[in-house]
Structure formats: structure tokens, C-alpha cells
């Protein structure tokens, strides 16, 4: 596996993206979309994890307009700074950047197959919208905060979508998960998994909310979903 920072030419200027290549340098294209904490150590580790699984992974720095390569931890001060970045981020601009990053990933030597978007938390909502906007051919969202407020885009989802939620998530209410499930109930291409012992951020082993079994199960479901749709 090899990793490096690369540059994406976006509609409003160039920005950075973290690229992880599998051994051999070839594999299905996977666009990795950050949490509110930026392309931090955890997101870079996720990129490396999927590169080890055989994917060509690109994680764009979506907060670049507020500062180059902003990356936060999980203490109270960093939570506050990350939340401010999310509040200042313009979703339309972020989606335009995601479209540019998707084009750059497709043009990356060794990137093959149908491009997938994989996002966590805020990035989960961005992955959902990326699928609705046609930037990806299939998508996976882990605890995608705010998807319940974007259900007017559900009819624009015409490709496979996998959603992971934690039943103990204090940031995404059970009613929100039910609303999403009900909206997509008749859609065979949409798959939803609810992990009974998982909190928000259960996939992140840098946080106290990490839940190993749920993370392992979700990773298995994700790999199967990606392989079936690549």
C-alpha cells in the first residue's frame, strides 16, 4: 500500500485530497468523505484500511475554504472547532468539490469499476447527496447525520445505497432513522443496518464511542455491498 496527498482542480480552486493505493496500484474507485473533523488521522486510517482491502481511495479535504488540511481530534475544544467548520460549510460548494474529486479519482491511474462514495457522519450525508447528484454510482453512509432532512432527494436516488446506524446514537434520533427507513421501504436497492449496541461514531477507534463488533459487522456489510456493485 502507498499513500500521498494529491491535488484536485475544483470549480473554485485547487484543494488537497489524501490518496491511498492498494498493493499493485489497481482497484475499484472509492471516494471517502470526511466527518466534521476533517481528513484527520482516523479518516486517513480508514483510507488505508480500504486500500488494504484492494480499493483506490481518495479522501478530499472538503473544508479547504476555511483552512488547508484542517484536522481535529475528539476533545471538547476540537469538537467546537469542527462544529463551526460544519456550520460554515456550504453544501452546494461541497457537492461541487465532491464532483471534482470524483472526476479526479476516475482519472487516477489504476482506478477501476463503478465509483463508490463512502462517508461518515457529515460525510455520510454528503455521500447520500453525491449519489442523488450523480457523482457516484453507489454509496455507503455511516451514521449520516441530516439525511432525514434531505428525504426530498430520495427520488433522485436511483442506484444502490447502504446506510449504517447505531441504535444508541444520541445525535440521530430513532424517529429520524424510522423516517429514512419508511421513505425507502419499497426500494430494493436501499439497504439499512441498525446496530443495537452502537453509538454515534461507532466505527472510529479514536473515540470512546467505538464499538468493535458493530464496526466489524458494518465493515463486512460494506465490503460485500461494494463488491456486489463495483
For residue 7, give every residue at least 6 positions away whose Cβ sits within 8 Å of its Cβ, in sequence order, or none: 14, 15, 16, 17
- pLDDT digits over 174-212, tens only? 999 999 999 999 999 999 999 999 999 999 999 999 999
d(CA 211, CA 204): 8
Q: Is 6 in contact with 19 (CB distance < 8 Å)?
A: yes
Closest CA to 172 of 192, 210, 201: 201
Q: Which residues have a catalytic role annotated?
A: 121, 169, 200
pTM, two decimals, is 0.97
Q: 103 φ, ψ to 5°?
A: -65, -40
Q: 175 φ, ψ to 5°?
A: -65, -35
- pLDDT digits over 85-111, tens only? 999 999 999 999 999 999 999 999 999
Q: 63 φ, ψ to 5°?
A: -100, 20
d(CA 51, CA 48): 5
Amino acid at each position: 500500500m502507498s499513500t500521498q496527498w494529491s491535488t484536485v482542480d475544483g470549480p473554485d480552486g485547487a484543494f488537497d485530497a489524501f490518496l491511498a493505493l492498494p498493493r499493485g496500484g489497481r482497484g475499484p474507485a472509492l471516494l471517502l468523505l470526511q466527518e466534521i473533523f476533517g481528513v484527520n488521522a482516523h479518516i486517513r486510517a480508514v483510507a488505508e484500511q480500504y486500500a488494504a482491502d484492494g480499493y483506490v481511495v481518495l479522501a478530499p479535504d472538503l473544508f479547504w475554504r476555511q483552512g488547508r488540511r484542517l484536522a481535529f481530534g475528539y476533545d471538547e475544544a476540537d469538537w467546537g472547532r469542527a462544529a463551526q467548520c460544519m456550520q460554515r460549510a456550504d453544501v452546494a460548494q461541497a457537492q461541487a468539490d465532491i464532483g471534482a474529486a470524483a472526476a479526479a479519482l476516475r482519472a487516477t491511474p489504476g482506478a477501476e469499476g463503478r465509483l463508490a462514495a463512502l462517508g461518515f457522519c457529515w460525510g455520510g450525508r454528503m455521500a447520500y447527496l453525491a449519489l442523488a447528484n450523480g457523482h457516484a454510482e453507489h454509496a455507503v453512509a455511516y451514521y449520516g447525520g441530516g439525511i432525514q432532512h434531505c428525504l426530498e432527494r430520495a427520488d433522485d436516488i436511483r442506484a444502490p445505497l447502504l446506510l449504517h446506524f447505531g441504535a444508541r446514537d444520541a445525535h440521530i434520533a430513532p424517529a429520524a432513522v424510522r423516517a429514512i427507513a419508511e421513505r425507502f421501504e419499497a426500494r430494493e436497492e436501499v439497504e439499512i443496518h441498525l446496530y443495537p449496541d452502537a453509538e454515534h461514531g461507532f466505527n472510529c477507534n479514536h473515540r470512546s464511542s467505538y464499538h468493535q463488533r458493530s464496526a466489524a459487522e458494518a465493515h463486512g456489510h460494506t465490503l460485500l455491498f461494494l463488491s456486489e456493485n463495483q
